[in-house]
Amino acid sequence: MEKTSIYGLTKSQLTDWLLARGEKKFRAAQIWDWLYVKRVDAFEEMTNLPKAGIQLLNDHFVLGTLKEEIAQKAKDGTVKYLFRLPDGNLIETVLMPHEYGLSVCVTSQVGCNIGCSFCASGLLRKNRDLTSGEMVEQLLKIQRNLDRMGGKRVGHVVVMGIGEPFDNFDQVMDFLRIINDQKGLSIGARHITVSTSGIVPKIYEFADIDWQINLAISLHAPNNALRSRIMKINRAYPVEALMKAVDYYLEKTNRRITFEYILLKDMNDHKEEALELASLLENKRSLAFVNLIPYNPVAEHTEYQRSDPEAVLAFYETLRKKGVNAAVRKEFGTDIDAACGQLRSKQIRRKRVRGQSAAKKKGSHYIPIQS
């Protein structure tokens, strides 16, 4: 029987699983406390469970499936982790220090199929979705490291790592329920943000859940021609459909929404695009916030460069003059592999090069690694 990560169960799922096997309901609360408050490394450490209960857990579940491969530490305190999954795939997770506390950026898929032309994450196509347990473990791995170094607590989570969260909707929603549980990791809903490139049907579905978790839209262009050029998803869900879904979300939740906008030199950073963006958000200004993001160049995307500081300032000031709330996002980890997916793709390229070299020496045919 193949064992699964116990971290993939929400509290209600864990309760139902235990009840179906004749266990008392209160056992779920005990196990939950051991997993997320005491953060044990083995079921045997759950000292208020009977031996039969511990054996039941050992028979069906595992604690911990991720292996830390690399931890890149930047001068500003940012740490980028490269984790290896049991099937050999690699994912990235990032710890970022803010003035308001520590935040973790979580990956939701192995690779990405959205195909944004400027993005390092999409250099490698999606291999598979992550399970909710694998997402929870990213956070727990980092929190355990912090526990060993003095007990600082992760207080904020963003699901903005490799992959499109709304393309793995059900698993991401379970992940959010697990980390938001007040008897566990207790990450406040208002301290959690989920980002989407614009999968319109899922925006409606997310709005209908009607919780206080924040939503961010990766927009990056104010019109269909430009957005379709740099983001293939716009061909399926054009700007008009996206904005209609945003209107539904705002009406349903009355919560502020963030629009992510990566500034690309001589591509989407002119005053003309700033005015178009302001016009696009005109009827949403009270609940819209634009996050202007300096571009981290990616070796494989030489056609894109970082906007000049003067262009960034002009874009920002144009939005502000038009009454749009905006800010230029603080950069993290600029002295390491800053762009999302960059560390992972670099390691996979190195492994492929080593494999090709070894194959040439042996005179054998090289088969590329699938990751």
Active site residues: 92, 340
Angle at 174 between CA 108 and CA 91, to 5 degrees: 20
**Whole-angstrom distance, CA of residue 141 vs CA of residue 70:** 13
Which of 187, 191, 249, 190 shows the shortest CA–CA distance to 217? 249
Between CA 315 and CA 270, with CA 320 as vertex, the angle to 5 degrees is: 15
Backbone CA torsion sign across 277, 280, 285, 287:
negative
Nearest of 130, 13, 169, 143 to residue 79 by alpha carbon = 143
- Smallest CA-to-CA distance from 222 within 255, 271, 187 is with 271
The pair of three-digit structure tokens given for residue 324, joined into one six-digit string: 């749009």
φ, ψ for residue 119, nearest 5 deg: -100, 140
For 82, left (φ over 0), alpha (ψ -120 to 50), or beta?
Answer: beta
